[in-house]
Homo-oligomer: A and B are copies of this chain.
C-alpha cells in the first residue's frame, strides 16, 4: 500500500471487494450500513463526519470527527437505540464495509487491517485528549484544544494554507464537540478575536493568528499533540 494516501486505501479496499461502491452523504445525513450487521467500518474518502453519541433526552456529544482517510468502527449493536452514529458534516464521500471484507489472507488485506488498527489507536488518543479537556477545563481550554486538533488534522491532509482553514461546523456542533452551549462557543470565539488570537471570516473560515497563545491556553505542546493524534502515514 505505497504511500497510504486515501486513494491507496480506497483502491486496495475496492480491489479486495469488487462489489463495493463509494457512497455519498449530504450535511446532516446519518451514515448507515445497508444491510443487517452488528458493526461496520467506515472509510471517509473525503469530507467531514461526526461520530456522535446521545443520551435519551437528546443531549448529543460528538465523540470524534473524521476527515479524509480516517477509519472508524461503528457498532450498531442490534438495538433500536444505537450507541454510536455517524453524521455527515458536509458533502462526504465514503465507503462502508464489514469485518469480513478485509479478513482475507492477502498481504493487502493484512496491511489494511494493521493500518486500521493503528488508526483506531490514534482515535483512542484523540478521545482521551478530548476527555481530559471536558473533565476539568474551562471553555477557553476546550475551544482552543478543538481549534488545534482540527487544525493539525486538516494540515495532515493538506487542507490548510498557513494557519488558515475551514471548519464546516455550526457553533452548535462545535458545542456538541466541546461540551459547551452554542452561545458560549460564540462568546469565547469573539473574545479570542477581540484579543487577536484568531480571526474568523464567513461562516466557516478560521485563521489562527497567535498559535503560541492558543497552545498555551489549551495546555498543548503542538509537536507532541501531533505525534499523538495524527497517524504517521509513512510508518
Contact = CB atoms under 8 A, between A and B. Distances in A.
A128 B127 contact: yes
Contacts of A134: 131, 134-135, 179
A183 interface: no
A70 to B, nearest CB: 15
A96 interface: no
Given A75-B125, A137-B59, A219-B56, A228 B83 contact: yes
Copies in the assembly, this chain: 2
A136 interface: yes
A75 to B, nearest CB: 7
Contacts of A23: none
A55 B124 contact: no
A41 interface: no
A186 interface: no
A63 B136 contact: no
B128 A55 contact: no
A137 B135 CA distance: 11
